[in-house]
Structure 1
């Protein structure tokens, strides 16, 4: 359980997240993921990173139960930790010195959108769904990253309704590179990573820096702006009220 790194082929680092049962990451898990991606990107032998997850879903966001276990000021500390951890993991993917290919199966929710929205390419299983159920969980954020996956008005509708989009729908919008049967997901992601890894290592790093440099949105600053509203929701008490309802619904 946790975050592990392997090298399945020359020039490729495979970073795998495994936090059963649903890959909802605790605070430390986000920091561990950020460290793993940054470390892989700094390795001069690595030319592409594949970000994958074990289990039935790619990512279910933050571990809400971890926050619910805390009370009073401790809950605020857990919230701050989760927000900072997510910000670091999202930034690590975006700022990784080499391209990052996300291999997505099952559900990709909340913080998962932050990861894949900042990736350079996405390969998805045909059972993958993408969405931000933040409003149902007393939170806000990652609209910055969802807006990198779908057109503006669709992003807003998905955000306000907490609905999800399928891998096929995202492929139609051009944000998913390829959709494959689930059993072929890792091979397909490694195939794309292998094609990237065959490029000159120095040149691929220049390409990543150049493409980030012409990005019209500063994703780190944009996400930080969103986080301010998450903190406001928590200070007002509405976030706890919604989260407590979410917890009771899950138990029922």
Structure 2
């Protein structure tokens, strides 16, 4: 359990996340992921990183229960900083990052995938930000890199999800395959990337990031400010206290 790194083929680093049962990452998990991706990218022998996950889904965001157990704000601050570092690590990785997504990709998962260079998804993959249902805000910056602006807003306000096929139609998913074929498909693409000259592929990654119209780190940090405001006002706690309850059986909202 945790974050592991393997070298399935020359020039390729496979970073795998495994936090059962749904890959909702605790604070330390986000930092482990950030460290693993940055370490892989710094390795001069690596030309592509594949980011994958074990289990039912790719990522379910932060561990809400960890926040509920914390009487103060340490877990919240830790999760926000950890997500910030993990998302940045993927975006700033010195070589291209291919995300292999299966099942649910929610909350923080959108931050990872939205900052990846390429996304390969299984047929059952779904993407969304249920933040408003969990007393949080954020990662609209990254969802906007996956779907058009108005669809991003609709998904954000409703907490609905989009399918891998829908994202394929928008051009943000490279390929959709059976779940059993997901890792092979991601490695096939990574293998093609890894055939390029190592120095040149790193220059290409830096150049493409340099022409990005949105500063993803600053944009996401701006969003996080509203998450802290929601927590200080008490709105976030009121909503988080109903997390896991059946609809209609939560605490009455003001």
TM bin, normalised by shorter chain, reads over 0.9
Could you tell me how far apart the structure 2 residues matched to 1:127 and 1:247 are?
23
Q: Which runs of 5+ in 1 are unaligned?
A: none
TM-superposed CA distance for 1:13, in Å, is 0.1
Q: How does 1:208-223 map to 2 (within 5 A)?
A: 208-223=205-220
* Aligned equivalent of 1:120: 117
Residue 233 of structure 2 aligns with which residue?
A: 236
Q: How does 1:30-41 map to 2 (within 5 A)?
A: 30-41=30-41
State TM-score, norm by structure 1: 0.97
- Classify the secondary structure of the residue corresponding to 2:176: strand
Query: Is 1:161 the equivalent of 2:158?
Result: yes
TM-score, length of structure 2 as denominator length? 0.97
Give the aligned partner of residue 59 of structure 2. 59
Q: SS of 2:44's equivalent?
A: coil
What's 1:15 paired with? 15
The equivalences for 1:1-252 within 5 A come to 1-71=1-71, 74=72, 76-249=73-246
Secondary structure at 1:247 match in 2: coil
Which moves more between the two structures, 238-247 or 187-196?
238-247
Deviation sequence 1:157-198 (CA, Å, 0-9, x none): 000000000000000000000000000000000000000000
**Greater Cα shift, 238-247 or 140-149:** 238-247
d(CA) in 1 for partners of 2:129, 2:194? 32
Cα deviation, residue 57, structure 1: 0.2
SS at match of 1:248: coil
Q: Distance in 1 between matches of 2:163 and 2:222?
A: 28
Deviation at 1:210, TM superposition (A): 0.1
Aligned partners of 1:78 and 1:58: how far apart in 2? 22
Query: Mind listing any 5+ residue stretches in structure 2 that lack a counterpart?
Result: 250-254
Tell me, in whole angstroms, the C-alpha distance in 1 between the residues paired with 2:75 and 2:33. 18
Structure-1 separation of matches of 2:189 and 2:244:
39
More helix by share: 1
The alpha carbon displacement at 1:5 in A equals 0.1
SS in structure 1 at match of 2:94? coil
**Count of aligned residue pairs for this structure pair:** 248
How many angstroms does 1:102 deviate by?
0.1
Partner Cα distance (2:167, 2:119) in 1: 10
Deviation at 1:245, TM superposition (A): 1.3
